[in-house]
Amino acid sequence: MLVEIRWHGRGGQGAVTASQLVAVAAIREGKFALAFPEFGAERRGAPVKAYTRITDEQAVVPRSPIVEPDIVVVLDPSLLALPIVPQGLKKNGMMVVNTAKTPEDIRSTIGRSDIRVAVVNATRIAMDTLGRPIVNTAILGALVRASSVVGLDTLLEAVRERFAASEKLASSNMEAVKRAYEEVVVG
């Protein structure tokens, strides 16, 4: 089974790192995965897209943009105003959004009633755990809880490895994952 995830964020929020961490976790679970970014203007705050493809079967995983994702992850809720964000999301697909709003609010905002929506205030969690609004690891906890695309323990291992140079940073990011995993609301 192929799962395609499209990530929408802004430069500096960690969308590319998040896409890579999910791919690393999937590979640790014996799956085949590929993560890659798509940049426009490469500057902090500019919109950024990243992609993750995960499959159970050994195959050549294409490195082309994902136009019909199973899951769309939104790190910056202001990006919901862009038509490209929900574009192509499959019927019965899922959107994971960093927001304090409800799933119903998000469905109404994007005009889609045929999808599942998971919401978590990843910005608040990031500020509490990291002291900075870098929301990538918090949104990962929500994604894993809402979709089961990879296991929580496997993701935590990938996060620990990624931030291994600093035990404090690794611990803070793992705490962000766990908090979002517990606080996400799926509707």
DSSP per-residue string spanning 140-169:
HHHHHHHH-SS-HHHHHHHHHHHTTT-HHH
Which tokens go with 110? 């994007």
Confidence of residue 47 (pLDDT cuts 50, 70, 90): confident
pLDDT tens digit string along 8-43?
Answer: 999 889 999 999 999 999 999 999 999 999 876 566
Is the whole model's pTM more than 0.75, yes or no?
A: yes
- Higher pLDDT: 63 or 120? It is 120
Q: How far is CA 166 from the centre of its chain?
A: 23
Which value, to the nearest 10 degrees, does the dihedral of the CA atoms of residues 115, 120, 126, 128 take?
Answer: 180
The CATH T-level fold of domain 2-186 is Pyruvate-ferredoxin Oxidoreductase; domain 3 (3.40.920)
Strand 32-39 versus strand 94-98 pairing type: unpaired
Domain boundaries, the chain: 2-186
Kind and range of the H or E run holding 176 = helix 167-183
